[in-house]
Chains A and B, each alone.
Chain A
Amino acid sequence: MTAHTQVRLTVNGEEVFESVEARKTLVEFLREDLGLTGSHVGCEHGVCGACTLLLDGAIVRGCLLLAVQCDGCRIDTIEGVADSGTIADLQQAFAARNALQCGFCTPGMLLTAAQLLEEVGVPSREKIRARLSGNYCRCTGYHAIVDAVEAVARARANIPPQQGEGRIAEGDPGRGR
């Protein structure tokens, strides 16, 4: 057995103090040691984006960080961000446009999109696609995801929604206007 190292970090606002093997990646630590299975593992080489989470407020790949490196850091996963309510409009837009099917890419996709939406201005569809281009989705073909992100960007900027763009599920406030 290799030596274990103590790490102290904040995860979703909660202080965590654990002993962890050096080789354990951050995403594995969160999933296995803390039971936060919302961050997913899709490739373990940083390409697919399923493990995307927040380190000190910036999106990073959880599979390309070691847990031991995160001593003193603040980690936010999809569970914490969802519970905080700060992306409720984005989640609602995803639901309204069925911008997720199997849901495996969704945590990473939401956190990446949320980071884009914090930037000033309404991004073009091209920019949304470019910014999401590090998050692999096999199910949706991306169109509905782009629609959802664009809709939220416009709503946050108080710009009226586009008409006639794609189908919106019933019960969504954006429908039928």
Chain B
Amino acid sequence: MKPAAFAYAKARSLDHAIELLGGAPAEARVLAGGQSLIATLNMRLSSPDLLVDINAVPGLDGIAVKDGMLEVGALVRHAQAERSDLVAKHAPLIAMALPHIGHLAIRNRGTIGGSIAFADPAAELPACLLALGGEVSIAGPDGCRSVAAEQFFRGLFETALSPRDVLTAIRVPLAERDGRFGFAEFSRRHGDYAMVGLAAQARAEDGGLRAVRLVYFGVGATPVRARNAEADLARSDLAAAIGALARDLDPPDDLQATGAVKIHLAGVLLERVAQQLTGRERRPA
């Protein structure tokens, strides 16, 4: 499968990238890691007229603590984030998720920004961003803005990004001392997209949990917060939380599992992640 023809331009700066994106008469796409984009181009599922390569845009590949948040530049490669002490310390949930993303060859090129912007419903990082209550930094023709994760993921492969925007970074609150994190997913083979997965954050309090955020992925068009289950878990009622998933989630059947199987597995994930959150994990996710 060979891509349909397109023009190619290498952006020298963020402004240049935005200018290139806006300049095309028809469709232009941002090329960052390309691990999803080029596959879709190869299969002719997408035929843009122009690719704007942002890999040389300076300032987008840093990982730093800024204003009480951890900022991870859009061009940070998954493998780079995996090796980062800052990510391990300040965003342990993301550190737990990263090894599940594809295989090393993919992680050497795939970017944090690309994963968030592509918003595959079975991807790990969008769920982590939502679980952490993070935000997305976007640069566009009208300037820069920040969009909370809750407002960012809108539909199937649909985000708050407009065709002329460039996602520049994600920002997540720094992990607190009482912060607890849990991550687990089920996939048929190592490195596959998840059949269903769970990214979770909570705060430890008096032997229990508060501010529980349970975000499932692989269960719908976007990551889904299981709010009823969250409330039950905050009351330390795991059984009720598992039962609540049938109300919180309505996963469609797909090629890997039926909706009923996904709901069942979501319950098993909750059991395992709950143990991680309460520090009583008995086996790795």
Contact = CB atoms under 8 A, between A and B. Distances in A.
Contact flag (A, B; Cβ within 8 A) = yes
Q: Pick the most buried of B2, B41, B103, B109: most chain A CB atoms within 10 A of its CB.
A: B103
A23 B41 contact: yes
Nearest to B1: A44
Interface in A9-47: 21-23, 25, 44-46
Interface stretch (B5-13, B87-95, B124-132, B228-236): B5-13
B43 interface: yes
A130 B190 contact: yes
A140 to B, nearest CB: 17
A3 B7 contact: yes
A133 interface: yes
A44 B42 CA distance: 7
B55 interface: yes
A58 B1 CA distance: 25
B104 A134 contact: yes
A131 B39 CA distance: 22
A61 B33 CA distance: 11
Contacts of B105: 49, 52, 59-61, 112, 134
B139 interface: no
A101 to B, nearest CB: 21
A64 B38 contact: yes
Contacts of A124: none
Contacts of B55: 69
B189 A21 contact: no
Contacts of B4: 23
Contacts of B10: 71
B31 interface: yes
A63 B38 contact: yes
Contacts of B6: 2, 22-23
Interface string B9-48: 0100000000000000000000100110011011100000
Interface in A55-88: 55, 58-61, 63-66, 68-69, 71
Contacts of A112: 104-105
A23 B106 CA distance: 19
Contact of A23 (B3, B189, B190): B3
Nearest to B79: A58
B208 interface: no
A22 B51 contact: yes
Given A22-B8, A59-B105, A66 B79 contact: no
A58 B108 contact: yes
A121 B5 CA distance: 46
A111 to B, nearest CB: 9
B39 A46 contact: yes
A115 interface: yes
A162 interface: no
B191 interface: yes
B135 interface: no
A55 B55 CA distance: 14
B42 A25 contact: yes
Contacts of B243: none
A115 B107 CA distance: 14
A134 B34 contact: no
B8 A66 contact: yes
Contact of A60 (B42, B108, B189): B108
A52 B102 CA distance: 14
B165 interface: no
A17 B38 CA distance: 23
11 contacts: A2-B6, A22-B7, A45-B39, A46-B35, A59-B104, A59-B108, A61-B106, A64-B109, A69-B55, A133-B191, A134-B105
Give me the 8 closest cross-chain CB pairs, A-B, nearest first: A134-B103, A22-B8, A2-B5, A45-B39, A133-B190, A23-B3, A58-B108, A64-B38
Given A52-B105, A66-B34, A133-B191, 5 more contacts: A2-B6, A2-B7, A23-B41, A25-B38, A25-B42
